[in-house]
Amino acid sequence: MAESLIITGTSKQEKYESLLPQIKALVEGESDYIANISNIMSALKFGMNWFWVGVYFVKDLSPALSKGEGEIKKELVLGPFQGPIACTRIAFGKGVCGTSWKEKKTIIVEDVELFPGHIACSSLSKSEIVVPAFDKKGNVTLVLDVDSEHLATYDETDKHYLEQIVRIIEQL
Ligand code: SME
C-alpha cells in the first residue's frame, strides 16, 4: 500500500523541495513506465493542487493519415493525466504543447487567451506551462502539460523544478 504524499512548506519552492524526493521514491523499485508516469502526474496534481496535470506522448500517425515527412508523420497523443477530460491529439506546432514540441523548449503562458493558437481543452484553464522530454538523440518524446485556473500561475521556479521532474521521467 503506497503512502500518502506529505507536502511541507508554504512557498512554491518549499513545496517542490518536499515533493521531489517523494517523486523519486515513488518510481524507485517500479519498472513500469506508464505506472510511474501515472503516479508522478497524481503527485503533481495533488501535491501542488493544480487544475490539470498530464503528459502527451509523441506518437506516429496511423499510415492512412500520414502524408508528410519527419515530425509531420507524428502527433501528440494524450497519456496519463489528472484532471478534467482533455483533447486527445495535438498536431506538431499547434497550441502550447505542439509549440513546446516544435521549439524543443519549456513554454510558460501567463494568459492562455493571449497565446496564438492555444487549444482550449477547458475554458477554466487560464495559464499553463509545458515542458518537453527528450530521448538520447535530442528528439522530443513527450511533453508535460500543467494547467491552472488562475492567470500567471507559473514562472521560472516552476520551470526549474518541472524540468527536474521531466529529467526523472526521461530516466524511467
Ligand atoms: N492547452 C493545451 C492543450 C492541452 S490541455 O490544456 C490539457 C495547448 O494549447 O497545447
Domains in the chain with CATH codes: 12-170 (3.30.450.40)
75 lines ligand 1 (CB under 6 A): no
140-148 sheet: strands from edge to edge: 89-91, 74-82, 52-60, 140-148, 127-134, 107-109
Cβ contact 8:14 at 8 Å: yes
DSSP state letter for 93: T
In the block, residue with C-alpha cell 498530464: 54
96 lines ligand 1 (CB under 6 A): yes
How far apart are alpha carbons 140 and 147 in whole angstroms? 20
How far apart are alpha carbons 98 and 155 in whole angstroms? 20
Query: Which residue's C-alpha comes closest to atom 7 of ligand 1?
Result: 86
How far apart are alpha carbons 51 and 127 in whole angstroms? 10
pTM for this prediction:
0.93
125 lines ligand 1 (CB under 6 A): yes
81 lines ligand 1 (CB under 6 A): no
CA distances from 162 to 41, 44, 48, 72, 120 (A): 11, 9, 12, 27, 22
Q: What pLDDT is recorded for position 66? A: 57
Q: What pLDDT is recorded for position 72? A: 66
From first to last of its 172 residues, the chain has per-residue pLDDT tens of: 456 888 888 899 999 999 999 999 999 989 999 999 999 999 999 999 999 999 999 999 876 665 655 556 899 999 999 999 999 999 999 999 999 999 999 999 999 999 998 898 888 999 999 999 999 999 999 999 999 999 999 999 999 999 999 999 999 9
- Which atom of ligand 1 sits closest to the CA of residue 119? 9
Ramachandran angles phi, psi of 105, nearest 5°: -150, 160
Three cell numbers, residue 10: 508554504
97 lines ligand 1 (CB under 6 A): yes
DSSP state letter for 152: T
